[in-house]
Structure 1
Amino acid sequence: MKKILVCVGILFLAKAAIAAPLSAIMTFESMTLTSDGVKKQTQFQERFIRDTNVIWTERIVPMAVHHDHVHEPASDHEHHHDLNFATAGKWIVRDNNNQIKFAFVRSDEKKIIAPRVSEYGTLGFDGEWETAYYLVNRAALKKMQILKKSSAEGTNWYEKKDATQFTRILWDERKEIPLSIETTRFDGTMSNKITLALTPAPLTLPWSKLAAYQTIAYEDLLD
């Protein structure tokens, strides 16, 4: 009986580990060199959390400038809608029928902004669960060349080249998540890099706090 209980306990812990949300801090870095010799560099971070059928990303705004991004409600004499969603939470959910819903969340306003499916593309979401959940297309990844480059146990470097640029991905085979994605032009005029640092998932997941939020249609902001 003890052996049976131990086995059941091990299976329970294994399932719990598999089902645990994956959380990471993503650092985005980009560089462009213009034709007039000006180098432009940008960097920002986002929090990324994924559970079985939920994905959440949200910009990390440093406290020094956080007050600049608080949305003030419009007065009775104003008719203004903020269409900049850079700092809003991005919430993607897949239901049992594999239908995907995408919305923005503004926690300071306690509002959920829900676009129509036809509007997803113009708002930065291509509607593909694969690339939103894994950050890369796994089928395309497996067609890339595995590099003989040292990496941590359970990870591999993949590379793809064409005439103008290369893409390298450090892939965690067990967690199925890229730890680094880099695309660089050979002529040095452009580079983009995303680095993921895995972190413990928050005890309270952000989408579990939305029950009292007001849901409005994105199209209502366009009038």
Structure 2
Amino acid sequence: MILKCDDHVSDYNVKFVKRNADQIGNVKEFEIFRHSEDSPYENEGNSHFNYTFILKDDKENQIWFQTNCGYGGSGPLATQEILQILGLKSDYQVDKKEYIKETNLTPEHKLNFIVGTYRKGRTPIDTHSWSDMNERFWVMTDFKYAYQLFDFKKILKSIGYLDNFFIETEIELPEEIAKPNPTKDGGPRDLYRNEWRGYATNNEFRLNHQFPEVEDNFLKIFFKNLVEKHGGTIQFKEV
């Protein structure tokens, strides 16, 4: 199957991959061109906008986009975000190279987060500091496909606030999780192998303030059922 995004607006290409994530397997190779005229992947509807970003997955699918590489602009940024969504977070120098081809890829779809609940009498309006949270336990998850993680995160965000660690985190990370190595350039935060904010592996998760009295065992059963329902595996670690 070939999926084609027939819009050359960069943001629409990102929305396209999110909307069709459940049809995309694990990406095994990709090819990116800076210039439309250099691409052999023709756009029959508009020859001025050939497809310049081609993904091939482990289900024999191809996904054709109109984002590109080779400069610091919206096209390469969208290309990088699509790669982040699909679990490819290495530095492929998308903003520097005018042609890129990568093969034998192994995407990762992991999400680790420390669960926190607001201390009694505190609400999101009162505090933005992790020191006002009760640290409950760590959750470490792993999924086979990007769409499974994507759907799981959507549910998490409906019951709490999920965000990657800030530069000066107050949270002590367990040994099983790599220490973050953030940049301070104001751009997408490199917390773990060039990950962008919003797609980071290691996160804090603040449950909505209605949850402070819920017992750990109940929460663990809830997370376990939710992860397994979405095809993932889960481990817990005490704080």
Assess same fold via TM > 0.5.
Answer: no
Higher gyration radius (CA): 1
More strand per residue: 1
TM-score by length of 1: 0.22
